[in-house]
Amino acid sequence: MTAKIQLCAVAALLAAATVAQAHCGGCDTNADKGDKTAAAATCEKGECDSCPIAAAMEKLPKLTFAVGEESACCEMGAKALAKKTGGHIHYVVGKQEFDSKADAQVALLEATEEFVTGFAEPHTCPASGKLTLAGKAQSCEKTAGHMAKLMNDAMSQVKLTYAVGDEECHCPIEAGKLAEKSGVDKQFVVGEEKTCCEQTARLNLARAKYKAAVEALVAAQAATTEKPEAEQGT
């Protein structure tokens, strides 16, 4: 990997990690992209406390920063703390703390992918027998299975594609040939997000799949709630 690509990878992954928490305490500005759901409309009004999509996005693993006993949700704030106290910045993902930014970024990626993979799968506690899906208790195995299918179907629609200049394709081999022929760097594309870093693309893909699953779950729950009682009993 060349120095240019290494620099691109580090900068791009940090940018993606920052986006993952840029709206600390606020409404996810991406929540209203695509089909407008009732939840998305609520987000547009700024009523984030009642927005299930925004609330769900906040549950994703985050990269935060610590300087001594103080913490910050953005690197700029951490740098200000470090300058003020003379301390060093540590990078935190969950309960793990790293001296290396690169190590923290890898941990964030792995934690996010693991979180998203398990989100749309029903889980039964071996001790209590309690069934959960998306972190919530489920009373009906059949309903949980149906919801899980809807979520996984939505996730499967989210794809990673490639771009080389103005050329777009779905095949990494074709993209590599285009890049070699044109001398233009290959970019990884997930929705509207583009990056030259494969690790950042994986993070973008995991987050986009998670958002799609949440939207599918919210829509299914809304449809069930709005369904006439006579139909629910059939």
Residue 51: inside a domain? no
pLDDT greater at residue 47 or residue 205? 205
Residue 174: inside a domain? yes
What domain range includes position 167? 3-20+60-225
The model's pTM = 0.74
Give the pLDDT band of residue 52 (cuts 50, 70, 90).
confident
Give the pLDDT band of residue 40 (cuts 50, 70, 90).
very low
User: What local confidence, expressed as pLDDT, does residue 221 receive?
Assistant: 84
Query: For the chain, what is the domain count?
Result: 1
Q: How confident is the model over 67-90, as pLDDT tens digits?
A: 999 999 899 999 999 999 999 999
* Whole-number Å distance between alpha carbons of 126 and 113: 24
Residue 130: inside a domain? yes
Q: How confident is the model over 91-100, as pLDDT tens digits?
A: 999 999 999 9
Residues in contact with 140: Cβ distance below 8 Å, sequence separation at least 6, in sequence order: none
Least confident of 49-53, 108-112, 181-185: 49-53
Positive or negative, the Cα torsion across 58, 62, 65, 71?
positive
